[in-house]
Amino acid sequence: MAAFEEVKQEIDRLTEILNDYAYHYYVLDEPKVSDAEYDHLLRELTKLEEQHPELMRDDSPSIRVGGEILEQFNKVQHNLPMLSLSNVFDEQEIRDFDRRVRQGLGEGESPVYICELKIDGLAVNLKYEQGRFVQGATRGDGTTGEDITSNLKTIPSIPLRLKEEVDIEVRGEAFMPKRSFEKLNEEKEKNEEPPFANPRNAAAGSLRQLNPKIAAKRNLDIFIYSIGQLNGREVTSHHEALSYVEKLGFKTNKEYKYCETVEEVVEYCEGWADKRADLPYEIDGIVIKVDALKQQEKLGFTAKSPRWATAYKFPAEEVVTTLIDIELNVGRTGVVTPTAILEPVPVAGTIVKRASLHNEDLIREIDLKIGDKVTIKKAGDIIPKVVNVLPEYRKGGETTFQMPEECLACESDLVRIEGEVALRCVNPKCPAQIVEGLIHFVSRNAMNIDGLGERVIIQLFEHELIEDVADLYKLKREELLKLERMGEKSVDNLLKAIEATKDNSLEKLLFGLGIRYVGSKAARTLAEHFETMDKLQSATKEDLENINEIGTKMADAVVTYFEQPEVTELLNELIDLGINMSYKGPKIDETEQNDTIFSGKTIVLTGTMEQMARGEAKAEIEARGGSVTGSVSSKTDLLIAGEKAGSKLKKAQDLNIEIWDEARFLEELEK
C-alpha cells in the first residue's frame, strides 16, 4: 500500500512539474529547463503511467501525444452562438464603423476600442468545468460545431487544468505557426503528397483528423481572444477578460492595443499591414472591439455579427499571372459562369489557380484573351478575381474567347433573359443543374446532410441512384455498399444523417428547394408566416406581397414555382417519405415587425459589389419592399455605390441624394 501511495505521489509530482515547464515554454515563451531534461522527466512519467494506468491524471502531459482513433466527430450545440464579424476595408470604412458605434451609444458616451491581430486559423470554443478541460469544439455554422476535444488536447498551449477551479468557456483561434507549416509541407513533398495551400488550411485539416496522433505531430498553437461564458465572476471590459484568462493559464496575443480615438485605431491597422510579414504566424486583418461590456450589450447584434466589433481586412494583394483557359460551369439555376484558369501564383498566403470572371460582358469589357497576362487580386483576402488585362505583354498567339451557343452539359440552346447579363440554360432536365441543385439541397444552410458532399452527390448521380431530392431518401444500403470508397460504417452514418433531416424545420426544406430569389432568410420569413407548406402553396401573389420582407419579384417566383405540376408531385413524394412540412422554430410577434428602411423607396445600384452579385442585391431590396431602377433622377431616394462607381454616383452627388457604400448596405440588410 505504501509503495502504491509513493507511485501516486510521484505521478502527481511529475505531472505538476511538467505542466509548469510546459506553461513557461508554450505560453510564456520563457523555458525553465532544456528540452532534454523535459523529455527525460516525461519518459519517467509515461513509464509510471503505463505501470499504473489508474493513477494517470486527466491533465497529464502524456495526453498531448494523442489518444485513440475516433469513428466520427459528434455535433456540439454552442451555448452562445459564435457569430462572424462584419468587415471593413479602408480608413473611411473604419471611421464609418466608429460613427455607427457612436450613434448606437448615443450622446454622452464615447467608446474605447481594443484592437487585436486577426489570427488566420480555426475558431474554437473551449469548455472547462471546475477548472478542467472537458470539451473543445469548432465554430461550425456558429450555432453547431464539431467536438474535436481529443485533437485540441494535443495543443501544448491549451491548459488541461486551469489555475482556478472555475466554470468557463473561452473562444480562441487555433493556428499553425509558419515554421511548422513549412516543415509539414517539406515532409509532404518528400512523400510526394500534395502540399497544403496555406497555414490556415493546414491547421483546420489537422484539427479535423479522426486520429489525434496526427494532430499531435503538427505543432499547432492557439491564442485565446474572448470569454464565451463565465460562472461565479464578473468582468466589465474586454481587456479585463483578457487579463483574467491569462491569469487562469491561457495564452493570449500580446500585440493588442487600447485605443481611445478612431485615429489610433486607423494607425494601428495601417501599421500592421506593413509589419505582418515579420510575424511567426499568419494574420489576415485586425479585429476592432468596443472595450466596455456594458456598451457591447447596448449596441447588440445583427443576425450574423455584433455591432460592437468589426474586422479590418488588409488591402487585397495584387499579382500578375497568365490566363491559361476559361472554364464554364452551369449552376443550379442554369446560369453559365465563366472561371479563369490561371498559371498558379501565390496571393495573400494561398496558391491561386482559378479566379472569378463573373460573366461574358466582363470578358468583353476588359478585352480578355486566352494567353493574356492578367492582374488578379483577392478581395478581402477571400475571393480571387481578374482585375484587368496587360495588353502590352501580348506576343500575337493569344486567342479570343467565345461563349458557346449550347449548354455544355445537355446541348440545349443557351438564352439571355431580358434585363440579365448572364447566359442561361433553361432545360429543367439539364444534368448539371440537377447535380448543382442536389448539392445545394444537402448544403449546411439547407437540409444539412452530413457526409453528402459534392463528390458523393456526383457519384450517386453518375450511378443513376438519384435524379431528384426525393431520391436521397430512397437510397438503399446494399446499393451504396457497391460504390467506391463506401464502407459499411460510412454508409450507415450517411443513411442515419439522411434520416435525421426528415425532422428539419420547414425553412430548411424551403431554402433547399432552390426557389429563385428565396435565400435562407426569406425562407425563414415564409416558413414563420405560413407555418405549413400546404398554406404556402395556396398563397396568392397578393398574400406574399403583404409580408414585410417579400417583394414583387420574389412573390412572382414563389407563385410560379408552386404552380408547376412537377413541384406538386415532388412535394407529395417528400410527404410520403416522411419529410416534415411544418415550421418548428420560434414565432416573431407580428406587432414587432416594422417596415424596413427600404420600404417604398426608389433605389439605384451602381458600381461593382464585392460580396454580392447585382441581381442578388436587387432581389434583397425588392424583398424588403424597395424598388430598384436603372437611372438616377430627382425621384431617386437612395444610391448604393460599389467599386468603380461612375456617372451615376456623380449625378446622385449633384442632386444631393443619399449615398451608401456596400458595407452600409450589407449592415442594413442584416437589420
Catalytic residues: 118
Looking only at the bridges linking them, the beta strands covering 309-313 and 283-290 are antiparallel
Residue 456 main-chain phi, psi, to 5 deg: -70, -40
Length of the chain: 671
**269 membership: H or E segment, kind and range:** helix 262-275
HSE of 35 in the Cβ direction (CA atoms, 13 Å)? 1
User: With the C-alpha atoms ordered 30, 34, 39, 40, is the resulting torsion angle positive or negative?
Assistant: negative
| Bridge pairing between strands 414-416 and 132-138 | unpaired
Alpha-carbon distance of 425 to 440, in angstroms, equals 18
Beta strands in 39-146 (DSSP E): 75-77, 86-88, 113-119, 122-129, 132-138, 144-146
- Taking Cα atoms as reference points, which of 559, 561, 638 lies closest to residue 602? 638
Contact (CB, 8 A) for 197 and 146? no
210-226 burial code (b ≥16 CB/10 A, e <16): eebebbbbbbbbbbbbb
Amino acid at 153: K
Element (H, E) at 654: helix 647-654
Q: What gap in Å lies between CA 128 and CA 519, rounded to an integer?
A: 37
Integer Cα distance of 471 and 570 in angstroms: 10
Pick from 567, 566, 536: nearest CA to 554: 536
For residues 533 and 100, give the distance between their C-alpha atoms in angstroms, rounded to a whole number. 40
Backbone angles phi, psi at 69, to 5 degrees: -70, 135
The conformation of residue 507, written as its DSSP 8-state character, comes to H
| Measured distance CA(517)–CA(588) in Å, rounded | 22
Contact at 8 Å (CB) between 424 and 329?
Answer: no
Angle between helices 178-190 and 199-207 (to 10 degrees): 80
> For residue 226, which amino acid is it?
S
